[in-house]
Structure 1
Amino acid sequence: MMNIQPAALARCLPFAVFMALLGLRGMLPEGLPGLDPRWIYGAGVLVVGGLLLHYRREYGELSRQNLPSMREAWLSVATGLVVFALWIHLDAPALQLGTPTASFVPLDGSGGLIWPLVAARLIGAALLVPVMEELFWRSFLMRWIERPQFQAVEPARVGIKALVLSTFIFMLAHTLWLAAILAGLAYALLYIRTGKLWTAVIAHAVTNGALGLWVIKTGQWQFW
């Protein structure tokens, strides 16, 4: 039987569950009687949030002792805003890997916003996903590529191979491939430079939060 490190499981399982639910939502057709696939996202927020809470003791990088300094926090915010600006402009057809399989349009039949769906999406995208994804992509995968005993790898010791490969896989999980590459590199370099996962989490949260507010204001639902 494969022996999975508890620290690896704590970083991989929430991400795997989230992606599985995302895939399920993409497979279900719209208009099913008694089932709105959009609410699967809300269920995912609850389930994955519960998993992160359950494994919280495994996330030493997110302890109070590892909070960023004020300068690092502002650098993270600025990075997140730059990534957001790039994301909404790097959407030409040539910069897309297919089309999203799980579109999320929180509108009712008359075109009005369904605010509980909007709230679920914003909470998930701006609060849950940044923690879940940074624990998986940067804390686990990038360091694991460097060395399977990933917890012993200091962020500053991550090499080019691990940085490039983890960013490439990160890109494959997104539709906007160039935007995803730049975002993945930005978050990873923050983590490597500061040695604090919180900087990547904050930048990711700012990107997703700004994107969510912009999507609601402009109705550019394809970005969700």
Structure 2
Amino acid sequence: MTEHDDRYAVPSAAALPADAPMFNRAAWIRILPFAAYLAFIVIGDVLERIGMSQDALVWLYPAKIAVVGGLLALFWRNYEELREGLRFSSSPFRLTPAAILAAIAVGVVVLVLWIQLSSGWMVVGSPAGYDPRTDGSIDWLLVTIRIAGAALVVPVMEELFWRSFLMRWIAAPDFQAVAPSRAGLKSFVITVVLFGFEHNLWLAGIVAGVAYSLLYMRYCNLWSPILAHAVTNGLLGLWVVRTGSWSFW
């Protein structure tokens, strides 16, 4: 995978105090933005069931992005992997030009597969999508917020939760001591499958999860999957608007 840094080791769960909490502060600050994102999905579903109009519901997304973005900003100084990952030093964990090109290429490939892997059996539920039109006309403010949120906020929030936290936490409760390249097959498979079924397009989600996880494990830099995720989501947004395929949102 990559060079190994002596700062990382896979700690033994038995080495932790018996009364240690399941999640420490480092875990919670990666969980909370993701939990807030999911909470808005539940709220939207409830409001739809009680009869709120779609014209009103589309404004839940800007609220969701504002809350999640606010939480990320609040905890930003505590996300060591994001701050360290942008330091262009001699560290093997730096974001190199090769890592950037690989992330962009992976992001484009995932986009193509995401669009293709959309047959009936590859979909869970009935995705309503996100339709930013009002009386047949596109609301460009909503489109801008949607694409910006999907490309700039969601990748950071999801990669902090799925890759930085969960994939390493499954390997060991002291997840910050686990090198991404040493998370192990069990952590990889569980995270990828759960990430896939977070999405209506479950198979496409699994494929994306595999690609983003491999980037993280290969380069040991969270910005690699974040960049790939951002490329996928940003280009998907442009494609959705261009084709009117709102169900993909």
Query: How many correspondences in the alignment?
Result: 222
What residue is the counterpart of 1:131 in the other structure?
A: 156
Structure 2 counterparts to residues 1-224 of structure 1, below 5 A: 3=21, 4-29=23-48, 32=52, 36-63=56-83, 64-65=86-87, 67-100=94-127, 103-109=129-135, 111-224=136-249
What residue is the counterpart of 2:11 in the other structure?
A: none
Question: Could you say what secondary structure the match of 1:148 adopts?
Answer: coil
Q: TM-score, normalised by structure 2?
A: 0.85
Q: Could you list the per-position Cα deviations for residues 24-68 of structure 1 after superposition, in whole angstroms to 9, with x for gaps in the alignment?
A: 1133239737x7111111011111111000001121111132651
Query: 64-73 or 180-189, which moves further after superposition?
Result: 64-73
What residue is the counterpart of 2:3 in the other structure?
A: none
- The alignment yields a C-alpha RMSD, in angstroms, of 1.8
Query: 119-128 or 1-10, which moves further after superposition?
Result: 1-10
Distance in 2 separating the partners of 1:13 and 1:115: 30
Tell me the amino acid that sits aligned with residue 151 of structure 1. Q
User: What is the Cα deviation at residue 6 of structure 1?
Assistant: 1.4
Unaligned 5+ runs, structure 2 = 1-18, 88-92
Distance in 2 separating the partners of 1:206 and 1:103: 19
- Conserved in 1, the CA contact under 8 Å of 2:196 and 2:207? no
Identity %: 48
Distance in 1 separating the partners of 2:25 and 2:141: 35
Q: Could you list the per-position Cα deviations for residues 92-128 of structure 1 after superposition, in whole angstroms to 9, with x for gaps in the alignment?
A: 001111212x53100011x110111111111110000
Larger gyration radius, structure 1 or structure 2: 2
Distance in 2 separating the partners of 1:150 and 1:49: 23
Unaligned 5+ runs, structure 1 = none
Q: TM-score, normalised by structure 1?
A: 0.94
Distance in 2 separating the partners of 1:7 and 1:32: 37
- Conserved in 2, the CA contact under 8 Å of 1:25 and 1:38? no
User: What is the Cα deviation at residue 130 of structure 1?
Assistant: 0.2
